[in-house]
Chain A
């Protein structure tokens, strides 16, 4: 079975673990360097990106994760996780900087402006319940990036090769289609593993 890590420094870890298990893979919580060993993929959950960045630095996880990304290990970031993956972050320095997108933080406003919608996702058929919480959005994408969903003219879900990133929180709903999409992506890029 595929082993998918969830960065567990802070945030919606439990929900991603459940979603990964619902999607037929094994979930591994990642808090320290040794937890990264033998992973087929990594999920960067929603939470506070500034907090996660401080803890990534303090436990020297940023470079090892970037190295895994460069080796082709697929990564899926939701909300704060998307911010961690992005090559550029408007108004501040980037974090992992591996996904060829530019994101803007808190771009839909404060918590009172947070919302949910039925979102159309390319190739998903029936709409997807998308929960946006103090959400970022993707301002700009590189040439190789496939835009999978937009809301109000803003990009909220995109794929750049092995990297998948969204502004919203699929982990807060019972709809696991997006995680299944990611698990399928992982199985296609992982030789010798049948999911």
Chain B
């Protein structure tokens, strides 16, 4: 048999390429996973509590009980992602051993390490990580992340932070693409970004991995906005199963992500959807409640 290479960059990044234009939904049990799959989700994120409930509950948020993740994996044929705490090597290895398709090294959970992220290139399973700007994005790619997402402010139902993060990242990427080679090293120093990642961005004319929007998407219009701003797809955390009518919200957000510039269609699918999740104004969050500021 021809030699097979698993866990290569192409295989790990390629998996995220297949998710483009799609919606990845947070689910906490098999029933929600089935609803997500039926609505057209490209993947589900298995976790114990959605971000808004993590906020409400307080305390330490950890990797979900493996039983929940396994139930979700058995319930659907689409890929299943799961969250590990930042820097928690053992949680990540356990998820890999269970065969989850993607790990989110996530600031939504309480960090296990406030200084160091995982060296994700050591793993066969691919990782997605959050970012607020190019410095964070490039460091995560440098550590081996195969997919990115904006951090936004999870569990708030407020899109403002995700918009801020995506606009900033895209502006910084545009700047890199138009820089001369001799300016890149200083830019790497200023951003705290690995030089070779910036070089790769310049040569490709884009990020080398897919970048989804996440953190605050609550309506079809929010999903369409993030696509309009250049996201490759969207994660919806609390926005679906904390809404009045999860089936309809899930379906409508899938359609809005595909047809984000078809404004008449967006009007139709947004009608009579019911009440979206209750949101939180970002200014009202205590500094310690801002998940986006965890481990940069």
Q: Hey, which chain A residues are within 8 Å of B126, CB to CB? A: 111
Q: Hey, which chain B residues are within 8 Å of A80, CB to CB? A: 18
What 0/1 readout, one digit per residue, does chain B (118-129) give for beta carbons within 8 Å of chain A? 000000111000
Q: Contact between A47 and B5 (Cβ–Cβ < 8 Å)? A: no
**In this complex, what residue of A is CB-closest to B124?**
A112
- Centre residue among A14, A47, A116, A132 by max chain B CB count within 10 A: A116
B102 interface residue per 8 A CB criterion: yes
Q: Hey, which chain A residues are within 8 Å of B39, CB to CB? A: 54
A40 CB, min distance to chain B CBs, angstroms: 24
Q: Hey, which chain B residues are within 8 Å of A11, CB to CB? A: 17-22
Measured as residues with beta carbon below 8 angstroms from the partner, the interface class of chain B is 35 or more
Q: Hey, which chain A residues are within 8 Å of B38, CB to CB? A: 54
B48 interface residue per 8 A CB criterion: no
Q: Contact between A112 and B7 (Cβ–Cβ < 8 Å)? A: yes
Q: Hey, which chain B residues are within 8 Å of A169, CB to CB? A: 14, 18
Q: Hey, which chain A residues are within 8 Å of B8, CB to CB? A: 115-116
Q: Contact between B78 and A51 (Cβ–Cβ < 8 Å)? A: yes
A73 interface residue per 8 A CB criterion: no
Cα–Cα, bound, A105→B76 (Å): 13
B266 interface residue per 8 A CB criterion: no
**In this complex, what residue of A is CB-closest to B257?**
A10
Cα–Cα, bound, A106→B101 (Å): 12
Cα–Cα, bound, A54→B245 (Å): 19
Residue from A13, A109, A116, A173 in contact with B5 in the complex, judged by beta carbons closer than 8 Å: A116
Q: Contact between A131 and B11 (Cβ–Cβ < 8 Å)? A: yes
| Complex interface residues of chain A between 48 and 63 (CB less than 8 A to chain B) | 48, 50-51, 54-55, 58
Cα–Cα, bound, A58→B265 (Å): 12
Q: Contact between A51 and B101 (Cβ–Cβ < 8 Å)? A: no
Q: Contact between B20 and A51 (Cβ–Cβ < 8 Å)? A: no
Residue from A58, A111, A117 in contact with B102 in the complex, judged by beta carbons closer than 8 Å: A111
Q: Contact between A115 and B40 (Cβ–Cβ < 8 Å)? A: no
Q: Contact between B96 and A48 (Cβ–Cβ < 8 Å)? A: no
Cα–Cα, bound, A55→B42 (Å): 12
If the complex has contacts A50-B40, A54-B254, A169-B14, are A115 and B5 also in contact, measured as CB distance less than 8 A?
A: yes
Residue from B1, B11, B41, B79 in contact with A116 in the complex, judged by beta carbons closer than 8 Å: B11
B99 interface residue per 8 A CB criterion: yes
Residue from A8, A50, A114, A133 in contact with B21 in the complex, judged by beta carbons closer than 8 Å: A8
Q: Contact between B20 and A47 (Cβ–Cβ < 8 Å)? A: yes
| Complex interface residues of chain A between 66 and 90 (CB less than 8 A to chain B) | 79-80
What 0/1 readout, one digit per residue, does chain A (1-42) give for beta carbons within 8 Å of chain B? 000000011111111000000000000000110000000000
Q: Contact between B20 and A12 (Cβ–Cβ < 8 Å)? A: yes
What 0/1 readout, one digit per residue, does chain B (11-33) give for beta carbons within 8 Å of chain A? 10011011111100000000000
**In this complex, what residue of A is CB-closest to B9?**
A116
Cα–Cα, bound, A54→B254 (Å): 10
Q: Contact between B96 and A112 (Cβ–Cβ < 8 Å)? A: yes
Q: Contact between A131 and B10 (Cβ–Cβ < 8 Å)? A: yes
Residue from B1, B3, B10, B18 in contact with A48 in the complex, judged by beta carbons closer than 8 Å: B18
Interface contacts beyond A51-B41, A112-B125, A131-B11: sample of 14 additional A-B pairs, CB < 8 Å, sorted by A: A10-B21, A11-B18, A11-B22, A12-B17, A47-B21, A48-B42, A48-B43, A51-B42, A54-B40, A105-B77, A112-B7, A114-B14, A115-B8, A116-B10
| Chain A interface residues (CB < 8 Å from chain B) | 8-15, 31-32, 46-48, 50-51, 54-55, 58, 79-80, 105-106, 109-120, 131-134, 151-152, 169, 172-173
22 contacting pairs across A/B (C-beta < 8 A): A9-B21, A11-B22, A12-B18, A31-B259, A50-B37, A51-B22, A51-B40, A51-B41, A51-B78, A79-B18, A111-B101, A111-B102, A111-B125, A111-B126, A115-B6, A116-B10, A131-B10, A133-B11, A134-B101, A151-B1, A152-B2, A169-B14
